[in-house]
Chains A and B, each alone.
Chain A
């Protein structure tokens, strides 16, 4: 009797709704737990250990760096780590600045003006965002080292690949594409009538943009900036191919400015993490990984607070 009642309860409309809703909640909980667990289960890598795994490569590579032997969780005491952070922050900031300077006017044009072939351009930009980073890095290498720009470089006396501007170039490719998508969405959200009214009141197009459009789209623009910065800081594959690892390059391949700012001795964070793990210094690598997670978490949270939407990568 009870069983039949239960079955009837479950197969009635209300019962079905309850099962489905319960299942949905369970799904959300599982996903959240899974996401958390992905990061939390590796916390033990941050805890101090008796010994640090020291592979032969590490010994050869950094023979005199005493800090490596004692850090075991104190990676924040290692100056090499901070140099790495330095490189990442400097390059990401420069990239974000350049992306904003070129990208915001471009996004405005794509949003407002009747640019021919808008849908093709849209397809093009979105496909850049789903391109593998190795592909991008490789395309850059070919373009600068083997392609038509190679001769141009030689004539100008520049050498772009494997230098600091190279990191910026790689980061710029993806940063710019993501930034433009975010900024275009921000401008799309501002009604055109506001600008028409501003112009009918006597503003030039630039003034209307500056005083009316930009303030109204403020949240979206800042979200796009944060997105561009974070994407630049997280760039790994492209940097690996286009710039390889700085620590292994001879001093001469860096410009005097780079050397003066001490930016040539360390790789960006993501590359650093990979190389440490690859060469066996696993705890160090995990610690750097957690730093990256921390930076990303702050960006994600800020973007959510601003109400912007993150769509890709």
Chain B
């Protein structure tokens, strides 16, 4: 169990403010956020490169904040894998055991085991610069995992790879984590990558943690506008909410209202709707609660869905899965329904 409690630090342009995070054993947690959010700084605090101004870090029940990196027993895989260029694959992997003065035959056996399980035994004599991206990742993982750390920290391990390789290696990471049963903390800035591998994700913004939870939870119940934007919610409208039974009604001005059962809110709010939650209707159902009629301004086909920009009473972005029906042509009329459960409400702060 890894716990960060009230961590704050100031490093030049990067800040962390009152970070609270708990990672369970055997969990794959992804730390997500835009560039500059402070994800790498957080990782480096965990490794022991920086000392936070205040707060407590406990790893497996031990308070580690005053310990040097070599005493913390935390695995670290930085962004470019940082394989030691002067050592072969075998020497790289065995480094941690040699540093702990493990007896030689035992080290040899363990290194061989690790290389076999990762499928890189045939590379044992090679130098890092002769390895491909996927091979380097496996060596870096082997090197970090062989010392059985409490948690493995991965700093943007897939960011520099092209998309196909990225999917393949993400699956690989997931598989290894399951096989070893370890706790992984994976930092990235891509939501798709997080969705591929994580059990839970923690979204960071400007040095604080905005939300922690499983993917479904974050998608359906985002906490705050930033999380909604970061998870690809597209339709944002400002309005004034009035509570009704079962939820509230938001008045967007010009007589346009949307109903929502997200919660009971009152006062100025921002409403957000995910593009894939909006339903496209056949002409016959063009009546009923939450229905809007408009015209298709433009259609953009994407690899796995079709994106439509629709001019209704309010401009809408709708995503429709491919293959369901014929994509409507640009310029045609269209009716859409916004279900009440799809409208998420975020109260506006008085600033």
The contact string, 1 if C-beta is below 8 Å from chain B, for chain A 166-197, is 00000000000000000000000001011011
Contact between chains at A200 and B84 (CB < 8 Å): no
Contact of A200 among B47, B80, B85 (CB under 8 A): B47
Contact between chains at A200 and B76 (CB < 8 Å): yes
Residues of B within 8 A of A218 (CB): 86
Contact between chains at B69 and A200 (CB < 8 Å): yes
Residues of A within 8 A of B207 (CB): none
Contact between chains at A199 and B82 (CB < 8 Å): no
Taken together as a complex, chains A and B put the C-alpha atoms of A215 and B85 apart, in Å, by: 9
The contact string, 1 if C-beta is below 8 Å from chain A, for chain B 55-80, is 00000000000001110111111101
Given A199-B68, A200-B72, A201-B143, A193–B82 Cβ distance below 8 Å? yes
Contact between chains at B147 and A201 (CB < 8 Å): yes
Contact between chains at A194 and B82 (CB < 8 Å): yes
Taken together as a complex, chains A and B put the C-alpha atoms of A207 and B144 apart, in Å, by: 17
Contact between chains at B82 and A200 (CB < 8 Å): no
Contact between chains at A197 and B82 (CB < 8 Å): yes
Contact between chains at B70 and A200 (CB < 8 Å): yes
Contact of A201 among B44, B49, B68, B95 (CB under 8 A): B95
CB distance from A201 to the nearest CB of B (A): 4
Contact of B69 among A194, A199, A207 (CB under 8 A): A199
A204 within 8 A of B: yes
Contact between chains at B49 and A196 (CB < 8 Å): yes
Contact between chains at B99 and A201 (CB < 8 Å): yes
B347 within 8 A of A: no
Residue among A194, A201, A211 with max Cβ neighbours from chain B (10 Å): A201
Residues of B within 8 A of A198 (CB): 84, 95, 99
Residues of A within 8 A of B147 (CB): 201-202
Taken together as a complex, chains A and B put the C-alpha atoms of A218 and B72 apart, in Å, by: 30
Which secondary structure characterizes the binding site on chain A? helix
CB distance from A256 to the nearest CB of B (A): 45
Taken together as a complex, chains A and B put the C-alpha atoms of A216 and B86 apart, in Å, by: 6
Taken together as a complex, chains A and B put the C-alpha atoms of A218 and B85 apart, in Å, by: 12
Taken together as a complex, chains A and B put the C-alpha atoms of A212 and B92 apart, in Å, by: 10
Number of interface residues of A (CB under 8 A): 18
B96 within 8 A of A: yes
Residue among B47, B70, B72, B76 with max Cβ neighbours from chain A (10 Å): B70
A200-258: which have CB < 8 Å to B? 200-204, 207, 211-212, 215-216, 218
B48 within 8 A of A: yes
- B102's nearest neighbour on chain A, judged by CB, is A202
Taken together as a complex, chains A and B put the C-alpha atoms of A198 and B80 apart, in Å, by: 14
Residues of B within 8 A of A193 (CB): 78, 80, 82
- B86's nearest neighbour on chain A, judged by CB, is A215
Contact of B48 among A191, A199, A212 (CB under 8 A): A199
Contact between chains at A202 and B96 (CB < 8 Å): yes
Taken together as a complex, chains A and B put the C-alpha atoms of A204 and B67 apart, in Å, by: 12
Taken together as a complex, chains A and B put the C-alpha atoms of A191 and B80 apart, in Å, by: 11
Residues of B within 8 A of A216 (CB): 84-86
Contact between chains at A196 and B95 (CB < 8 Å): no
Contact of B74 among A191, A200, A207, A211 (CB under 8 A): A200
CB distance from A121 to the nearest CB of B (A): 21
Given A196-B76, A197-B76, A203–B82 Cβ distance below 8 Å? no
Residues of B within 8 A of A203 (CB): 70, 95, 99
Residues of B within 8 A of A207 (CB): 99
Taken together as a complex, chains A and B put the C-alpha atoms of A201 and B68 apart, in Å, by: 11
Residue among A191, A193, A200, A215 with max Cβ neighbours from chain B (10 Å): A200
- A194's nearest neighbour on chain B, judged by CB, is B82
Taken together as a complex, chains A and B put the C-alpha atoms of A200 and B86 apart, in Å, by: 18
Residues of A within 8 A of B73 (CB): 202
Residues of B within 8 A of A196 (CB): 44, 47, 49, 69, 76, 78, 82
- B84's nearest neighbour on chain A, judged by CB, is A212
Residue among A191, A193, A216, A218 with max Cβ neighbours from chain B (10 Å): A193
Taken together as a complex, chains A and B put the C-alpha atoms of A218 and B86 apart, in Å, by: 10
Residues of B within 8 A of A199 (CB): 48, 68-70
Residues of B within 8 A of A202 (CB): 70, 73, 96, 99-100, 147
Residue among B69, B76, B96, B144 with max Cβ neighbours from chain A (10 Å): B69
CB distance from B89 to the nearest CB of A (A): 15
Residues of A within 8 A of B86 (CB): 212, 215-216, 218
Contact between chains at A201 and B82 (CB < 8 Å): no
CB distance from B326 to the nearest CB of A (A): 53
Contact between chains at B47 and A201 (CB < 8 Å): no
Taken together as a complex, chains A and B put the C-alpha atoms of A200 and B69 apart, in Å, by: 5
- A190's nearest neighbour on chain B, judged by CB, is B85
- A214's nearest neighbour on chain B, judged by CB, is B86
B268-309: which have CB < 8 Å to A? none
Closest 6 CB pairs of A and B: A201-B96, A215-B86, A200-B76, A199-B69, A202-B99, A203-B99
Q: 13 A-B residue contacts at CB 8 Å?
A: A191-B82, A194-B85, A196-B47, A196-B76, A197-B76, A200-B144, A201-B99, A202-B70, A202-B73, A203-B95, A204-B99, A211-B84, A212-B86
A193-B82, A196-B69 given; 8 more Cβ-contact pairs under 8 Å: A198-B84, A198-B95, A199-B68, A200-B69, A200-B76, A202-B100, A203-B95, A215-B86
